[in-house]
Structure 1
Amino acid sequence: KKHVSQSLIQTVGITTMGVYIEASSGFGQSQDSIRRHHGIVSAEIGQLATIPPKQRTKEAIQAYKLRKPDLPFEAFQGGFILEKIARPKSKGELKLINTNVDDNPAVTFNYFKHPHDVR
């Protein structure tokens, strides 16, 4: 077992099509934190990647939460490789719901909706 050095997200390359490749390594959890569920938006959600997207139901997430304590510690050590598209053609939308500064706006990201962005 090799130790994975920790790094913040950094650009590690730019493709000829202008896609930024970024990486982060050294993500890990302690033995105690593995026993807890950190939510659907946590970095550990990648564990659901083995389930096809249309099968990622509330039941599948609940089953993951129940199985999580039995997963090997090594399953929670690693990193991420991300990509960002420079000048995407896909457009999202950001709208205020009301004038209350404490309320979140309505956001539609529309990632990869334009065919140019998925070439």
Structure 2
Amino acid sequence: MCIKFLSDDITHDYHAVHQFTLKSIDLLRKDAPVKEVILWSDGAAPQYKGKGSFADVTLYPFKCQRNYFGSKHGKGEADSETGRFARALKRAVAKGQGFRNAEEKAVFGRHAYPNNDPLKK
């Protein structure tokens, strides 16, 4: 399962990451109980390495371990999925399609990748 989050808030700080993580866990809990989560992330300090993100780990209602790739090292499946979606958006814009907000991009993504929507089973 690949879960992508789109937001009109372009800050994408640790508050956003915390909310995205909680929403992801809610989606996963629909299929199985979640007792422990192991998070892997890149070295982006504003989202993952600041005191706020460390404090957020204590707020999760499950055991949480956070691991980091070295900054600018390694690309995981999430990077591939995000890049694929970004390229599809760029192709659509090049063909004249416009997107005013995150919701319009999400609708586009659901149509472009109908089997990749975690909210559909």
Name whichever structure is richer in strand by fraction.
1
The answer, yes or no, to whether TM exceeds 0.5 is no
Q: Which has the higher helix share?
A: 2
Bin the TM-score by the shorter chain: under 0.3
Name the TM-score, length of structure 2 as normaliser.
0.21
Taking structure 1 as the reference length, what is the TM-score of the superposition? 0.21
Larger Rg: 1
